[in-house]
Structure 1
Amino acid sequence: MPLVSLREVLKKAEEGSYAVGAFNCNNMEIVQAIVEAAEAEKAPVIIQASQGALKYAGLNYIVSLVRAAAESTRVPVVLHLDHGTDREQVLKALRAGFTSVMLDGSKFPLEENIAITRQVVEIARPMGVSVEGELGRIMGTEDHIQVSSYEATFTDPEEAQRFVRETGVDALAVAVGTAHGVYKGEPRLDFERLKKIRERTQIPLVLHGSSGVPDEALRQAISLGVRKVNIDTDIRIAFLKKVREELSSRPEEIDPRKILGPAREAAREVIRHKMRVFGCAGKA
């Protein structure tokens, strides 16, 4: 089926009080793993590409891969730009056919973040494309975007209310204790803050840096209004662990398909588990 907008899948997630998984892709095998998992679980899915993925695979390759995957399935598929950092990058994604974009203006002062995010909303909305904004900085590294623990700031509920009102975004990424990359200890989410943000904004919330967060914590966050959960690191870990195992067990193998095929299956199983935790399984 054709690609759908983020707004479309999040509307149903709101009605059903579940979250839709947003899984980062970098190559063909991971795109296939994401869609195979969605089909197996009968779940709507968001396939997203970061700046690193677009630089590695190329904008047109990513779009073509995801479109081909969407056309081969009956589950709703969203193609989302993850962490777009400026207007020009977002415009490139819009022209290429992304059905959802994120403008990450979290590094800017509130007034500037509101202004640039509102500009993107005004461009994207007439095109039927959804927009995700971010308020508060999420610690860790996402490709070349780095935020130290010193720089990381949690989202302020009052600022979130103003941000949503003045930008008109479809979803809001919040900083409540998650981090990009691999955790050194167990993350502790600020559920009280999350509850206040939801009460003041009444908008689908997005949890970045969700790899490594315990399942029960994710379920609680979803019960408090999180409707999009981003997963990248857990997929990479499963994929590369299997690649290493296959290379170790068959050092003379020269067929990459016999190495990458099992890795794709390992990634698919991780994604299926996440979909069940998020509550989106069976909702396509």
Structure 2
Amino acid sequence: MPYVSGNTMINEAWKNGYAIGAFTAHNLETIKAVLLAAQEEQSPIMIQIGQKAINEMGMKPLRNAIDSLIEYHQITVPVCVHLDHSRKFEQCMEAATCEFQSLMFDGSALDFEENVRITKAVVDVANALGLGAEGEIGKIGGTEDDITVDEKDAMITTVAEALDFSERTGVHYLAVSIGTAHGVYKTTPQLKFDRLSEIKEAVQKPIVLHGGSGVPDDQVLEAVKRGVAKINVDTELRQGFIDGVQAHWQANAKDYVLADVMNTGIASMKEVVRHKIRLFGSNGKA
């Protein structure tokens, strides 16, 4: 299996000025769309398994599905399976035993000291097992995986807290709040590029951009230039998949062959993944 530690994959991207797309998977079809796009673009990728998908499908069935599809479709590009937005230390440990290559503990809703304490414990395990570990400092607005952060509570991460958090946890890549939100944007986001540059200079490690769906391409390119090496994409993938399925049913209202319907969703989502891979600059980097 072509699995690579998140630490290795993200640092490679960071050192070479591109970003890894971390694409959220919800079922067999969405995993297939991500894997095929990555193989065709010869791009390393992260497949994220988030809380909503875990609640609906279960961690182990989704993890096993990735193994099966990699084997069936003869995927050879580097793949990293990432646990996204875990709020529990125990769940991070479960993912480690299920052979995830990257763990994220999201303690952004906790007080600072508690966030540091648990994130460091996850990082220690990740280091022992050769995995990647991500932590989050500052709240990122919107709703992801049934976790809602009010816009007025979303705050821009300060350089001081990013540095303190980074040094005390030893986290490998750091998610910060610089003006993105989860879900669909009501207005065009304006990323705080100066703050991003200041944080990158201070922590000297890869930065993660959450809420990557809907951020204008020019702002994404600028963020990558300034040290973002992992970009999470979920909403746009689901939109692409569902748009494909809806278009198929509009043209073929009585098509009850599930494979036909799903394949239009896969093809549509694959184009979104392909566009993101090229935008992030990871194509041809496998």
TM-score for both structures, normalised by structure 2: 0.97
Contact preservation (8 Å) 2:126, 2:133: yes
Q: Deviations over 1:118-137 (max 9, x none)?
A: 01111221111111000000
Q: Deviations over 1:216-252 (max 9, x none)?
A: 1000000000000000000111110111111222121
* Greater Cα offset, 243-252 or 253-262: 243-252
Alignment of 1:7-46 (within 5 A): 7-46=7-46
Question: 1:201 pairs with 173, 178, 203, which one?
Answer: 203
- Indicate the residue corresponding to 2:88 in structure 1: 86
Q: CA deviation at 1:161?
A: 0.6
Counterpart AA for 1:174: V
Given the alignment of the two structures, is residue 56 of structure 1 paired with residue 70 of structure 2, yes or no? no
3-state SS in 2 of match to 1:150? helix
3-state SS in 2 of match to 1:119? helix
% same residue: 41
Counterpart AA for 2:280: F
- Indicate the residue corresponding to 2:65 in structure 1: 65
Equivalenced residue count is 284
- Indicate the residue corresponding to 1:113 in structure 2: 115
3-state SS in 2 of match to 1:140? strand
Which blocks of at least 5 consecutive residues in structure 2 are unaligned? none
- Indicate the residue corresponding to 2:278 in structure 1: 276
Counterpart AA for 1:277: L
Q: CA deviation at 1:57?
A: 1.6
Alignment of 1:244-283 (within 5 A): 244-283=246-285
Contact preservation (8 Å) 2:208, 2:230: yes
3-state SS in 1 of match to 2:139? coil
Q: Deviations over 1:65-118 (max 9, x none)?
A: 112234421100000000011101111111111110100001112111111100
Q: Deviations over 1:188-216 (max 9, x none)?
A: 00000101100100010000001000111
Counterpart AA for 1:95: T
Contact preservation (8 Å) 1:2, 1:67: no
Given the alignment of the two structures, is residue 74 of structure 1 paired with residue 76 of structure 2, yes or no? yes
Q: Within 1, Cα distance between the matches of 2:212 and 2:10? A: 18
Which blocks of at least 5 consecutive residues in structure 1 are unaligned? none
Q: CA deviation at 1:154?
A: 1.1
Alignment of 1:183-202 (within 5 A): 183-202=185-204
Q: CA deviation at 1:2?
A: 3.3
Counterpart AA for 1:247: W
- Indicate the residue corresponding to 1:3 in structure 2: 3
Q: Deviations over 1:121-167 (max 9, x none)?
A: 11221111111000000000002100001211111111111111110
- Indicate the residue corresponding to 2:229 in structure 1: 227
3-state SS in 2 of match to 1:277? helix
Contact preservation (8 Å) 2:38, 2:77: yes
Q: Within 2, Cα distance between the matches of 1:178 and 1:14? A: 20
TM-score for both structures, normalised by structure 1: 0.98
